[in-house]
């Protein structure tokens, strides 16, 4: 998808935009809980929303045992996430997922496997998942991934800077990463499960956007707590505040823990209610997931046939 807005540039470091912010956890949890109870999508609308979710998935494998073969299989699924007969039944053209997300050394394999598909390759970088390698090495890792053809870079932040309140250090680090990314879009993973408080989440989100992150992303998938609705709500509110101040558009990517079609709908509802329909498209919304797609496929088949489906009727990712 070609963005209809200029790429965000970030702003100078502006602590006044987040210093005083305090997020009330209980209220955020209440909003998150009632949000999904206040909205519901059924029938055609549900199918359409789930298909929209498919186009937003960053189909991901980030495991120590990844191999070129494994990545190739994932990429095949990314090219054709849904069975053609289901698409035919729904009267839809073929579609793809949003991107494939892999470790840097898997980037060349993924690029090769996705050639001609239009599906970008996203690479994690900067010492993923802990981010505790020296900064020059982390920057070099970005250069490597971009050089191998990654169009999107998912960086991790230094949690220490958040936990000790060194916001300018955090800003400088992320800004340096953005500079190295060049044309590749940068997603800043905040590892919110490590940041603990929602006020930290808000502040880290704001610093990442000021430093030029194209997307802010919840989790590596490796923390004890991954994407949750209250955390996502907090990040979206920071995002909305940033957009209102600067006019720059920023994307959002929840990752880790979104496993069911119901989860996908919940996050889409959250996007629509807090940011609006425009932020439900893959240039501004991604879902980092691996098993989610399988559940959506079965739901779509149920929509088409009226019968409950089984996993073995859909191609393995």
Partner 1 sequence: MPHIRDIMQTMDYGPAPEDSSEVLHWLDGHSGGIGHFIDGTFLAPSGPLADVYSPADARVIARLGHAGAAEVDAAVEAARAAQAGWAALSGHDRARYLYAIARHVQKRERFLAVLETMDNGKTIRETRDIDVPLVARHFYHHAGWAELLEDSFPGHVPHGVCGQVIPWNFPLLMLAWKVAPALAAGNTVVLKPADLTPLAAQAFAEICVEIGLPPGVLNIVQGDGATGALVTGHPGVDKVAFTGSTEVGRTIRRQTAGSGKALTLELGGKSPFIVCEDADLDAAVEGVVDAVWFNQGEVCCAGSRILVQEGVAEEFFDRLRARMATLRVGDPLDKTMDVGAVVSAGQLARISELLAHGQAEGAVLHSAGGDLPADGYFCSPGFFTGTGPGDTVNREEIFGPVATTMTFRTPDEAVQLANDTRYGLAATVWSQDIDRAIGIAAGVKSGVVWINATNLFDAGAPFGGMRESGFGREGGRAGMAAYLVPPSSGPGQPRPAPAPAPVAAPFGGAQDGPGIDATAKLYVGGRQVRADSGQSFTVTDANGTAIGQAALGNRKDIRNAVEAASKATGWGGVTAHNRAQVLYFLAENLAQRRAGFEALLARNCTPDLAVAEVDAAIRRCFWYAAQADKRAGVVQATAARHVTLSLNEPWGVVGVVCPDEAPLLALLSLVLPALAMGNRVVAVPSQSQPLVAALLYQVLETSDIPAGVLNLVTGPRAALARTLAEHDEVACLWYCGSADDAARIEAWSAGNLKPTWTDGGRLRDWADPAQGQGNAFLDRATQVKTVWIPYGD
Binding interface with partner 1 (CB under 8 A): 20-28, 30-31, 34, 37-45, 47-49, 51-52, 90-92, 196-199, 237, 268, 272-273, 277, 280
CB of 36 to partner 1, least distance (A): 11
Contact (CB, 8 A) for 84 and 314: no
Nearer to partner 1, 55 or 61 (CB): 55
Q: Are 232 and 240 in contact (CB under 8 A)?
A: no
- Rounded to a whole number of angstroms, the minimum distance from the CB of residue 64 to partner 1 is 35
214 is catalytic: no
Report d(CA 10, CA 194) in Å as an integer: 24
Compute the distance between CA of residue 205 and CA of residue 215 in angstroms, rounded to an integer.
Answer: 10
Minimum distance of partner 1 from residue 267's CB (angstroms): 13
Its sign, for the CA torsion 271, 275, 279, 285, is negative
The bridge status of strand 251-253 relative to strand 99-102 is: unpaired
Least Å from the CB of residue 44 to partner 1: 6
The one catalytic residue among 77, 187, 217, 249: 217
DSSP 8-state class, residue 168: H
Distances from the Cα of 168 to the Cαs of 144, 146, 203, in angstroms?
Answer: 26, 26, 11
Q: Which of 187, 249, 253, 263 is catalytic?
A: 253
Please give the angle made by the CA atoms of 191, 152 and 121, to the nearest 5 degrees: 110
Q: Could you confirm whether 154 is annotated as catalytic?
A: yes
CA angle 282, 238, 51 (to 5 degrees): 20
Per the listing, tokens 């691996």 go with 290
**Closer CB to partner 1, 59 or 195, in the complex:** 195
Rounded CA Rg of the chain: 19
CB of 167 to partner 1, least distance (A): 18
Looking up tokens 């055609």 gives 44
Pick the closer one to partner 1 by CB: 20 or 183.
20
Q: Are 293 and 13 in contact (CB under 8 A)?
A: no
Q: Where are the beta strands (DSSP E) in 226-266?
A: 251-253
142, 181 Cβ separation under 8 angstroms = yes
Closer residue to partner 1 in complex, CB, 76/281: 281
When the beta carbons of 121 and 280 are compared against partner 1, the nearer one is 280
Residue 45 C-beta: closest distance to partner 1, Å:
3
Residue 217 annotated in active site: yes
Residue 43 or 307 with smaller CB distance to partner 1: 43
Which are the catalytic amino acids? Answer: 154, 217, 253
């Amino acid at each position: 998808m070609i963005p209809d807005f200029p790429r965000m540039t970030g702003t100078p470091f502006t602590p006044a935009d987040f210093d005083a912010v305090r997020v009330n956890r209980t209220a955020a949890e209440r909003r998150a809980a009632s949000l999904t109870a206040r909205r519901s999508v059924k029938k055609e609308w549900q199918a359409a929303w789930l298909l929209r979710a498919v186009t937003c998935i960053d189909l991901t494998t980030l495991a120590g045992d990844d191999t070129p073969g494994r990545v190739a299989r994932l990429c095949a699924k990314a090219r054709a996430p849904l069975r053609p007969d289901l698409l035919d039944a729904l009267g839809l053209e073929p579609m793809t997922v949003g991107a494939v997300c892999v470790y840097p050394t898997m980037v060349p394999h993924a690029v090769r496997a996705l050639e001609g598909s239009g599906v970008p390759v996203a690479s994690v970088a900067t010492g993923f998942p802990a981010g505790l390698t020296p900064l020059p090495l982390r920057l070099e890792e970005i250069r490597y991934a971009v050089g191998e053809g990654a169009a999107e870079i998912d960086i991790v932040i230094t949690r220490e800077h958040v936990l000790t309140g060194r916001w300018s250090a955090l800003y400088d680090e992320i800004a340096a990463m953005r500079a190295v990314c060049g044309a590749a879009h940068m997603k800043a993973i905040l590892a919110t499960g490590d940041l603990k408080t929602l006020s930290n989440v808000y502040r880290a989100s704001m610093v990442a956007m000021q430093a030029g992150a194209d997307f802010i992303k919840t989790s590596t998938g490796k923390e004890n707590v991954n994407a949750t609705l209250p955390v996502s709500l907090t990040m979206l509110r920071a995002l909305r505040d940033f957009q209102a101040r600067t006019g720059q558009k920023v994307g959002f990517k929840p990752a880790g823990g979104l496993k069911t079609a119901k989860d996908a709908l919940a996050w889409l509802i959250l996007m629509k209610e807090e940011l609006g329909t425009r932020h439900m498209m893959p240039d501004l919304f991604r879902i980092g997931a691996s098993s989610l797609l399988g559940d959506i496929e079965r739901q779509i088949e149920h929509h088409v046939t009226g019968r409950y489906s089984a996993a073995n009727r859909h191609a393995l990712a």
